[in-house]
């Protein structure tokens, strides 16, 4: 059974845990350093990246997670999780700085703080529901990064080797296909 951690400092933690358990994984809440032992993968959930960064510093998790990413542990960052992983942030200092993408926060303006679309993602499936909440997007990606999905010309799902990042919240729907893609093809 694959053992997948979910960073559990803030944000959509429980939804990821449920979805991972539905997929037959052992899901582990990561709140402190020992929780990172013997993981096969790690999910960095959506929430609020500035708050998460403060908590990562307080619980001394930033550096251990960065080292695991550099050593090749598969990670999936959703929304604020993508912001945490990005090498470069527009108008902000980066956090983990492990994924070769440039991310802009809050890319969808005030009137559309939150919306849902159906995405056709060639590698994953058709009409996959995606919930965007004050979502970021990837302005540019490095040469080894595979763009998996775009929406209205913005990159919203991409893979940099063992690191997967998306702008939206796949765990807030009942459709498990994106998380399944992460677990089946990367972990």
Active site residue 169: yes
Residues comprising the chain, all counted: 187
Shortest distance, CB of residue 146 to ligand GLN, whole angstroms? 22
Distance CA 65, CA 48 (A): 18
Active site residue 25: no
Torsion of CA 48, 52, 54, 60, to 10 degrees: -170
Contacts of 148 (CB under 8 A, 6+ apart): 121, 122, 123, 124, 157, 158, 159
Active site residue 152: no
Q: Evaluate the CA torsion angle 119, 124, 126, 131 in order and state its sign.
A: negative
Shortest distance, CB of residue 98 to ligand GLN, whole angstroms? 17
Residue 44 binds ligand GLN, judged by CB under 6 A: no
Angle at 134 between CA 133 and CA 136, to 5 degrees: 105
14, 66, 134, 177: which one binds ligand GLN (CB under 6 A): 134
Which of these segments, 47-55, 61-69, 117-125, 145-153, binds ligand GLN (CB under 6 A)?
A: 47-55
36, 79, 98, 172: which one binds ligand GLN (CB under 6 A): 79
Measured from the CB atom, is 71 or 91 closer to ligand GLN? 91
25, 27, 43, 80: which one binds ligand GLN (CB under 6 A): 80
Residue 47 binds ligand GLN, judged by CB under 6 A: yes
Residue 133 binds ligand GLN, judged by CB under 6 A: yes
16, 105, 137, 159: which one binds ligand GLN (CB under 6 A): 105
- Does the annotation place 174 within a ligand binding site? no
Tokens for 17?
A: 């845990």
Start-to-end CA span in the chain (Å): 11
Shortest distance, CB of residue 80 to ligand GLN, whole angstroms? 3
The runs of H, that is alpha helices, within the chain are 13-22, 49-58, 62-70, 80-85, 177-185
The site for ligand GLN (CB under 6 A) is made up of: 46-49, 79-80, 83, 105-106, 133-134
């Amino acid at each position: 059974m694959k053992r997948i951690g979910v960073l559990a400092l803030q944000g959509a933690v429980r939804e990821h845990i449920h979805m991972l358990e539905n997929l037959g994984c052992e899901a582990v809440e990561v709140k402190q350093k020992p929780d990172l032992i013997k993981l096969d993968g790690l999910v960095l959930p959506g929430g609020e990246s500035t708050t998460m960064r403060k908590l990562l510093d307080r619980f001394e998790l930033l550096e251990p997670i960065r080292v695991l990413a550099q050593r090749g542990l598969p990670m999936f960052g959703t929304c604020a999780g993508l912001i945490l992983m990005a090498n470069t942030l527009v108008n902000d200092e980066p956090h983990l700085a492990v994924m070769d993408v440039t991310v802009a926060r809050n890319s969808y303006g005030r009137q559309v703080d939150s919306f849902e679309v159906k995405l056709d993602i060639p590698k994953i499936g058709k009409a996959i529901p995606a919930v965007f909440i004050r979502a970021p997007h990837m302005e540019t990606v490095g040469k080894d990064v595979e763009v998996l999905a775009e929406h209205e010309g913005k990159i919203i799902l991409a893979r940099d080797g063992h690191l997967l990042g998306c702008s939206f919240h796949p765990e807030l729907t009942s459709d498990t296909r994106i998380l399944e893609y992460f677990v089946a093809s990367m972990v």
